[in-house]
């Protein structure tokens, strides 16, 4: 390893991260104690172990200037997610559920990346502390994803994210840690405020207090974990489903624009090209599938609109809730859902997928190329948000989309080696890379569960979830020899 790579700032940040994670584990301790469930001991032991490691790292690395350069940022981003996942898995392994390492890590990676795939069954009878921990993982993962997409990825120029470079991600000085603190406070307040609003809305619509707390956290984070095996199929109130639609969509919008709206620019959201494209796309797809259900399934339009809006919004925002098994809605819907799993929401949100801005840029590049074929001597410069799309930006966006597709294909092929059929393997791969949650079919579909797939496939899917959430190059660059000798 190159002596130029200073690990102390990385270990210092990891120490604080584990300290916060250990403190968060005390919340399920209180819940299980109040419920009289003996699983509180597993959370207490996990909190002590995690907190001890975290505090030790902080104390042994403090006093250094908090300067994080590009090479360190790549390594820290990956290590932060991997380390958090391993320590977050402790309660699952120590609790009465006694998940093995493959299952526990799958559950925590799925939680922290807000994917929402699960290997747990019997959720309706599960200890409340464990259910709350799953929701907390998604909620904490969501705020980490927002901060990463607003600060780290623009700093690293991943997948065209340099387009959203702000003062907090300024690469001229390569000093980003002080900015993270200021931005984190602003994001945290907005995130917490929207979560509380969602919680109150759920509770007012008829959810129990415990369900409202859990589902508010997993809705706004677009995570998709539920306290019930049947997910949102458990709730019969139509108002609860529409509240979920609103807040899933809210979690898919850029949080930077929420901050701008609070600071006196309320029209920023509606004027943003990415937001308008996302909302228009969402409305059109919901209407299309609602009309299909009415025409082919003899479902009244109002009921069809609720079913379509909830499940389409859940898939497009990569939340992963389900109110019905849409795998049974017909070939048109299955193909549509297969494609929707790749889309995602807006950048700077909690969603996974390719993201709307990249798809928009790809369409503009395609249009520019077609115009150049028709009028070869004309000057065709595509623009996005009033800014010319440079060759560097175009290359980054198209390479990201290629990596997304290539990773899905490679993971699909690898999963078939463990005996998974083509539909299960392909949709499991796409949902992992896109951080969606359920796939399609009886095994991993909305009515299925990942508990029955082989452990080797779970390890591959866990890696796929991390790879997709960290936008590929953040992880893959670590396997390059040039990275370590730079």
Name residue 388's beta-bridge partners: 383
CA–CA separation, 287 and 336 (whole Å): 13
- 116 annotated among ligand-binding-site residues: no
Is residue 113 a known part of a binding site?
no
Backbone angles phi, psi at 358, to 5 degrees: -70, -40
CA distances from 438 to 107, 132, 196, 415, 431 (A): 13, 20, 26, 16, 7
> Residue 444: CA atoms inside 13 Å, Cβ hemisphere, count?
29
Token code pair at residue 463: 């890696």
**CA pair distance 72, 60, nearest whole angstrom:** 18
- 222 burial via Cβ count (<10 Å: 0-12, 13-18, 19+): buried
What is the SS3 assignment for 120-161? CCCHHHCCHHHHHHHHHHHHHHHHHHHHHHHHHHHHHCCCCH
C-alpha 480/C-alpha 482 separation (Å) is 5
Q: For residue 429, give both structure tokens.
A: 């791969």
Phi, psi of 227, deg, nearest 5: -95, 5
Residue 294 assigned to a binding site: no
Angle at 109 between CA 108 and CA 112, to 5 degrees: 80
Residue 50 among known ligand-binding residues: no
| CA–CA gap between residue 170 and residue 183 (Å, rounded) | 13
User: Which residue in 417, 403, 420, 411 sits closest to 462, CA to CA?
Assistant: 411
122 marked as part of a ligand binding site: no
Count other Cβ atoms within 10 Å, centred on residue 310: 25
> Do the annotations mark residue 319 as ligand-binding?
yes
Residue 195, phi then psi, degrees to nearest 5: -65, -45
Cβ partners under 8 Å of residue 357, min gap 6: 160, 163, 274, 346, 347, 384
Q: At what angle do helices 238-251 and 209-220 cross, to 10 degrees?
A: 30
**DSSP secondary structure of 276-325:** HHHHHHHHHHHHHHHHHHHHHH---HHHHHHHHHHHHHHHHTT----SS-
Q: Is 380 annotated as a binding residue?
A: no
3-state secondary structure of 471: coil
Q: Please answer whether residues 352 and 113 qualify as being in contact, where contact means their C-beta atoms are separated by less than 8 angstroms.
A: yes
CA geometry: angle at 284 spanning 278 and 288, to 5°? Answer: 145
Residues 25, 4: Cα–Cα separation, whole Å: 36
Annotated binding site for K(+): 114-115, 223, 318-319, 435-436
Binding site as annotated, residues: 114-115, 223, 318-319, 435-436
């Amino acid at each position: 390893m190159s002596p130029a790579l200073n690990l102390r700032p990385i270990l210092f940040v990891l120490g604080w991260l584990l300290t916060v994670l250990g403190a968060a584990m005390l919340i399920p301790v209180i819940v299980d104690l109040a419920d009289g469930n003996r699983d509180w001991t597993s959370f207490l032991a996990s909190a002590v172990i995690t907190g001890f490691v975290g505090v030790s790292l902080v104390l042994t690395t403090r006093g250094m200037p908090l300067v994080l350069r590009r090479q360190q940022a790549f390594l820290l981003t990956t290590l932060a997610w991997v380390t958090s996942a391993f320590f977050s898995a402790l309660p699952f392994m120590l609790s009465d559920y006694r998940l093995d390492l493959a299952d526990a890590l799958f559950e925590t990676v799925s939680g922290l990346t807000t994917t929402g795939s699960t290997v747990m069954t019997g959720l309706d009878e599960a200890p409340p502390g464990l259910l709350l921990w799953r929701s907390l993982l998604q909620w904490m993962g969501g705020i980490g994803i927002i901060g990463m997409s607003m600060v780290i990825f623009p700093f690293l120029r991943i997948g065209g994210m340099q387009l959203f470079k702000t003062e907090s991600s300024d690469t001229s000085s390569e000093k980003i840690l002080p900015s993270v603190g200021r931005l984190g406070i602003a994001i945290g307040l907005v995130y917490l405020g929207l979560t509380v609003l969602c919680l109150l809305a759920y509770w007012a619509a008829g959810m129990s207090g415990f369900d409202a707390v859990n589902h508010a956290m997993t809705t706004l984070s677009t995570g998709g974990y539920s306290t019930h095996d049947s997910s949102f199929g458990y709730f019969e109130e139509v108002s609860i489903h529409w509240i979920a639609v609103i807040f899933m969509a809210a979690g898919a919008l850029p949080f930077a624009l929420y901050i701008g709206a609070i600071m006196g620019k309320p029209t920023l959201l509606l004027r943003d090209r990415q937001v308008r494209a996302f909302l228009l796309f969402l409305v059109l797809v919901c209407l299309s599938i609602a009309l299909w259900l009415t025409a082919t399934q003899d479902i009244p339009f109002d009921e069809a609109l609720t079913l379509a809006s909830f499940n389409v919004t859940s898939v497009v925002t990569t939340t992963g809730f389900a109110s019905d098994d849409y795998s049974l809605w017909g070939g048109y819907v299955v193909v549509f859902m297969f494609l929707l799993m790749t889309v995602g929401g807006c950048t700077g949100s909690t969603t996974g997928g390719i993201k709307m801005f990249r798809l928009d840029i790809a369409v503009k590049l395609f249009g520019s190329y077609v115009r150049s074929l028709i009028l070869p001597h004309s000057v065709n410069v595509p623009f996005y948000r009033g800014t010319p799309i440079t060759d560097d930006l175009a290359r980054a966006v198209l390479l990201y989309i290629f990596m997304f597709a290539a990773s899905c294909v490679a993971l699909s092929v690898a999963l078939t080696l463990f005996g998974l059929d083509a539909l299960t393997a392909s949709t499991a791969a796409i949902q992992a890379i896109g951080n969606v949650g359920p796939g399609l079919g009886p095994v991993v579909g909305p009515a299925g569960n990942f508990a029955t797939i082989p452990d080797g496939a779970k390890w591959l899917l866990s890696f796929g979830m991390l790879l997709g959430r960290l936008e590929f190059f953040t992880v893959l660059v670590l396997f390059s020899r040039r990275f370590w000798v730079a």
